[in-house]
Structures are given as structure tokens and as C-alpha cells.
Amino acid sequence: MLTAFSFIFVLGILIFIHELGHFLVAKKVGIKVHKFSLGFPPDIISKKVGDTTYCIGLIPLGGYVKMAGEDPNEVATGDAGEFSSKTIGQRTAVILAGPFMNYLLAIFLMIGVLYFGGTPIFDPDKVVVGTVSKDGPAAKGGLKPDDIIIAIDGRPVSDFDSLRSLISPRVAESIQITWVSNGDTITKPITTKAHPIPLPEGNYDTVGVIGFKQKPLRFEHPSLASATVDGFVTVHVIVKETFKFVKKVVTGKASAKMIGGPLFIAQQSGKEAEKGASSLFFFMVLLSVNLAVLNIMPIPILDGGHLLFLAIEKIKGSPVSMKARAIAQQVGLVLLLTLIVFVTYNDILRVIKGL
């Protein structure tokens, strides 16, 4: 239930904000909006207000804003309320508004994560157990929150990095862990669990884990001004890294197997929700940036495809023909459906492999 709710919440917010951007700017420049839909048909809820029908679709994997004169299969009438009747600048603003709203949402959420979530400060001299993964090796071995781990295989550990360096190389191996619990010193063998780490080439490295997180001493909360600056900078780092990853995938330097789809988003949403609000909202930051970047790619049917048509129109001095636009839209739809099938296949393999 938590996974399903988190998935709908995350995608619902991201899609709503994206489509709201298109909708608001379209209305601002005088374009008639026939339909504003959150989700795809069949519709669960539908209500017409003025010229616009507002809908919530049963399939929560996207949304759309249907504007007058936008469909290449429709013949433009020249009405002032049609998309095609507006200037190139106005149409560009309408198209860019969706990705831009996702960009703004990412900044807003990142500021909130930093300001309200704070930065965890850990004890530099000891490893205190925080949350313990249910049914993980640590839980089965008897480790509990507030226990203090003092040695791995008889080697003293005083910080999390030294502990991780001793555990990570031991994949699915039994190790002796010594910890203090309520004043008692306990030593038990615990078998590590293999944990896969994705590599850019599409393969996976494997490390050993026992399934717990370190407990912070406290959280330091920055000022709103500091959180705003850091949030802005952090999002731009994420944007830069996202573009670099897309470039690597296109040039073959990174595997497309790294791309996640709906199942991955649903699964990860549930995991992040279990960690707490800060983790879930940071995951939304990553998705919002990815959604913005993906949508401005010059692929027909995506926002970037529409921007490409407008650039061609600006250069040649006349709109791209309806026939050419319709063909490009069909090609774009095939590419998009192929991508959806591919990432869903990747997601299924991840689930089967337990990744």
C-alpha cells in the first residue's frame, strides 16, 4: 500500500506541475484549452468548466493539455484562440512552460529538503546503529537501534567508513561482529548480503552489506537563505549530471540498461517513503529534473520535438507542413512506445534479480 500510494503521489505531483505549466501559459497568451488531463483515459473523473474539460485518467503514467489547433491532423481555421495562430515566441513559451515548471519544482523541493530535513551529524568516534532493515542480516543477528558496533572480525572500528571498508569486500560471507547493547558486549557471526551497485556500462558491482543505517547525533538546519542557495546549486549539479548521462547513453558510453521505468519508480518511491519525507522528496527532485530534461529532447511527440518544429519554422519562415508534422508525430510515438517497452523490460529484470 505504501509503495502504491507513494508512486501515485510522486507521479501525480510531477505530472500535474508539468501540465499546469503548459496550461497556465496557454491561457495567458489566449489559447483555448479543450482538455486538461492528469493521467490517461479511461477517465475516472471529468468535469467541464468554461471551455476546458478537467479529467483524472485511470492510467497514472502521464497527462496532457489539449489545445485548440495543436493537433497536426486538424485543419487550422485561423481562429485567434488556436495554438497555430500565436507567434513563435508565444508558442515556444507554452511548450517550455512544462519542463520549466519541473525545474522550479525541483528547486523548491530541494530547498525544503535542506531547510526542514537538515544535514545529519554523526559521532566521529563510534558507530551507533540507527534504523535496521527488516529481515536483513543485522536484524537476524540481533542488532538493534542504539547498539554500538566496536569491531569486525576482531578489528576495532570507530567510524562508519572504517566499518564499511571491512564489510563491503565480504560478499555473502560470515563475519564476526562485536557490539555493545545495553552495557553488554556481544560477538556473533553474521552473514553479509550481496548488494548490487549499477555501473555506467550496464553491469553491476556487488558489495557486502548487513542492512543498517548509522544513527546521527543531531541534524543541523541551515538558514532559509543558505538552504535556498544550496538548493539552487544542488539542482543545477543534478541537471548537469543528467545531461551528461543522456549524452553517454546516446554515444554508447553508458548502457541504456541504467534507465528506469514505471516499475522502478514505483518500487523506489516505496523504499524512499519508508526512509522518511526527506528521502522521498529528494527522489522527487531527481525525477523532476529527469522529466524536464527528457521532455526537451528533440524527439517528436515530446516538448523538444515541438521546439524543433518551431526552430525550423523560424529558419524557413513558414510552418512545417501538417503532413510532415503528422509523420514525425507517428515516428515519435513509435520511439516513445519502444522506450517504454524497453525500460519496463529493464524494470522486470531488476525485480527478478532482486535489485
Q: What are the pLDDT digits (tens) for 213-229?
A: 999 999 999 999 999 99
Q: Tell me the longest C-alpha to C-alpha distance in the chain.
A: 83
**Residues 113 and 214 reside in one and the same domain:** no
* Long-range CB contacts for residues 334-343, cutoff 8 Å, separation at least 24: 335/299, 335/300, 335/301, 336/299, 336/301, 336/302, 340/261, 342/256, 342/259, 342/261, 343/259, 343/260, 343/261, 343/262, 343/264
**Residues 13 and 44 reside in one and the same domain:** yes
Q: Would you say residue 230 lies in a domain?
A: no
**Residues 104 and 152 reside in one and the same domain:** no
**Residues 256 and 113 reside in one and the same domain:** yes
Residue 355 has pLDDT above 60, yes or no: no
**Residues 113 and 180 reside in one and the same domain:** no
> Domain boundary residue among 198, 219, 240?
219
3-state secondary structure of 316: helix
**Residues 208 and 272 reside in one and the same domain:** no
Cell numbers standing for residue 272: 524512499
**Gap between the Cα atoms of 108 and 183, Å rounded:** 45
pLDDT digits (tens, 9 = 90+) for 134-158: 889 999 999 999 999 999 999 999 8
Residue 297 has pLDDT above 70, yes or no: yes
**Gap between the Cα atoms of 60 and 11, Å rounded:** 7
Domain region containing 164: 121-219
**Gap between the Cα atoms of 334 and 337, Å rounded:** 5
CA of 228: how far to CAs of 97, 109, 123, 208, 279, in Å? 22, 10, 27, 37, 18
Domain count, the chain: 2
User: Which pLDDT value is given to residue 74?
Assistant: 67
Please identify every residue annotated as catalytic. Answer: 19
> Domain boundary residue among 219, 239, 260?
219
Q: Would you say residue 190 lies in a domain?
A: yes
> Domain boundary residue among 174, 196, 219?
219
Residue 14 has pLDDT above 80, yes or no: yes
Q: Would you say residue 245 lies in a domain?
A: no
Q: Would you say residue 244 lies in a domain?
A: no
User: Which pLDDT value is given to residue 239?
Assistant: 94
User: Which pLDDT value is given to residue 203?
Assistant: 65
Q: Would you say residue 14 lies in a domain?
A: yes
> Tell me, what CATH number does 137's domain have?
2.30.42.10
**Residues 36 and 143 reside in one and the same domain:** no
Residue with more model confidence, 15 or 252: 15
Ranges of H-type helices in 210-302: 224-251, 262-275, 277-295
The pTM of the whole model exceeds 0.75: yes
